Chains A and B, each alone.
Chain A
């Protein structure tokens, strides 16, 4: 199946056209955060270079969060616009799952770390078994110490990747007891081909939804909601 995928969850803007596990085109830019200006022209370019008409694709896929709130919405709204206009389904792919796909085939623990600010990380723990991504700990938001504790409990070698690595590396070195390494930067950022290939698998599992229902998983409340809840809790 042919999928047009988008990942604008972080600093990297990326889009791809994949057919099952083959990448027809992928366009990835890690330069400045101007996704709203760059993403759509990038999509137009890969479509034109591969003679792809939107009518000829089977589904849209989008890195569905977590990530930068604004970045997620640019990707989401773009996908919703294309899918809504063309009557195509959307396959939401958890951002951290797609990041783990960067290290396909790795039999150690694959640990994507995204910088979630406020001293937290968006992360998950994965490995590959029989060529398939296996989720050991689903993506979540929390302190890096929780991830480190769990890795110490699991007692297996870990490979880290993601834009959270430079932020948390010192802490990892300080507390992590198991053997570990860090993916080179060529392999540690969001790539839309990974979103697309994983989306094909999720589609076979029936995880596609209508364009109207697609909405990012922020894994976090807005600041206003958080402050309001804290105030309510203080009152109780």
Chain B
């Protein structure tokens, strides 16, 4: 088979993104239009507004990806698109567009799981990385600890029981007046604060040592802020940010450490929007070094939602013949490793 060029399209939340990836690992272009400024005044993503912006941006973003890749659109081999999980309105824009595009170009269509895309961003960054490896996907919508056993084969060890890690960042950032998006803002503030200033809880889930809960931590922060207000104690936002972040990082690192120890896996990859967090990258890197595990983490541009990771995941499905029909639908609650529901 000659080179496989895949157009990857992503619109599951508040980024309209498209990319061209060659043979699953070589990024020829990666165009991302972020709607963050639009949603900032609302303190979070508004699905209807996000959907409307996706419609406005999808053509220019896809056209730009083809142009930047320096290929002719007749060179494309297939179209990959995120069909879940995510917000249904935004997902439907990408899915409907991709179906129309692939139909008009007579190209095969591949439906991609967004979380699988995040994991594959590591395969782009590390050309020699192959499954099996352990991966923690942390983002605004997801917190999954999984073993990628092979392409398309995942074993989910644990996931969050309530808020996603990134979601708790957003909520805490809002509570201490840092605004949206919370991840980068808390990361910045935390650098100026004392992570030991306040002892926030590190939640454990009874019965599953690999599962997470962040809503209790968020409540603890809110309670702390309330008690300060009641007693007239001054709130040091940087200390709150640093202490909150330390609690999140501790919990994530401890679960990963345990999973590595119990499974004997020697390769660990971090993925998802929160993988851009500097404290988390550092702590995971140190833990892996100490335990003799190879540590992988994509650069921030591949951590945020992007089309390249979708094209990469689509490639590995495409070469196995796992294409989708034109009846592909958006599946907001799509599970990782779920058998395709389309024909």
Residues of A within 8 A of B (CB): 34, 36-41, 43-44, 54, 69-70, 73-86, 210-212, 215-216, 218, 222-225, 228
Q: Mark B232-273, 1 if CB is under 8 A from A, else 0.
A: 000000000000000000000000000000000000000000
The smallest C-beta distance from A128 to any residue of chain B, in angstroms, reads 33
Report how far A216 CA is from B54 CA in the complex, Å.
12
Residues of A within 8 A of B101 (CB): 81-82, 84-85
Distance, CA A70 to CA B54, complexed state (A)? 12
Decide if B100 touches A69 in the complex (CB within 8 Å).
Answer: no
Cβ contacts under 8 Å, B41 to chain A: 228
Band of interface residues on B? 35 or more
Q: How far is the CA of A215 from the CA of B51 in the complex (A)?
A: 11
Q: For residue A36, which residue of chain B has the nearest CB? A: B329
- Tally A-B pairs: CB < 8 A: 116
Per-position binary interface string of chain B over residues 86-130, scored 1 when its CB falls under 8 Å from any chain A CB and 0 otherwise: 001100111111111111110000000000000000000000000
Q: Mark B42-63, 1 if CB is under 8 A from A, else 0.
A: 1000101101101110111011
A-B contact pairs, 14 of them (CB 8 A): A36-B95, A36-B330, A69-B51, A77-B54, A77-B97, A81-B100, A82-B103, A84-B63, A85-B73, A85-B105, A210-B59, A211-B59, A224-B42, A228-B42
Chain A residues within an 8 Å CB radius of B51: 69-70, 73
Q: B59–A84 contact, CB under 8 A?
A: yes
Are A36 and B49 neighbours in the complex by a CB distance under 8 Å?
no
Closest 7 CB pairs of A and B: A81-B100, A77-B96, A85-B104, A222-B48, A212-B59, A81-B101, A81-B97
- Residue from the set B42, B102, B103 with the largest chain A CB neighbour count within 10 Å: B103
Question: In this complex, what residue of A is CB-closest to B109?
Answer: A40
A69: chain B residues within 8 A (beta carbon)? 48, 51, 89
- Bound-state CA distance A216–B92 (Å) is 14
B47 → chain A closest CB, angstroms: 9
Chain A residues whose C-beta falls within 8 Å of the C-beta of B63 in the assembled complex? 84, 212
Q: Which of B89, B95, B326, B330 has the most CB of A within 10 A?
A: B326
Please measure, in the bound complex, the distance between the C-alpha atom of A211 and the C-alpha atom of B101, giving whole angstroms: 12
Task: Kindly report which residue of chain A lies nearest to residue B342, judged by CB atoms.
Answer: A37
- Does B327 have its Cβ within 8 Å of any Cβ on chain A? yes
Query: Hey, which chain B residues are within 8 Å of A81, CB to CB?
Result: 96-104
Flag if A80 contacts B100 (CB, 8 Å).
yes
Beta-carbon contact of A37 and B46 below 8 Å: no
Cα of A80 to Cα of B95 in the assembled complex, Å? 12
Beyond the given pairs A70-B88, A81-B96, 19 more chain A to chain B contacts, judged by CB atoms under 8 angstroms and listed by A's residue number, are: A36-B92, A36-B329, A41-B325, A54-B104, A69-B48, A73-B55, A73-B96, A77-B100, A80-B97, A81-B97, A83-B100, A85-B101, A85-B105, A215-B55, A222-B46, A222-B48, A222-B49, A224-B46, A224-B48
What is the CA–CA distance of A216 and B105 in the complex, to the nearest angstrom?
24
A34 touching B59, Cβ below 8 Å: no
CB distance from B87 to the nearest CB of A (A): 11
Minimum CB–CB distance from A234 to chain B (whole Å) comes to: 17
Task: Using CB atoms, name the residue of chain A closest to B326.
Answer: A40
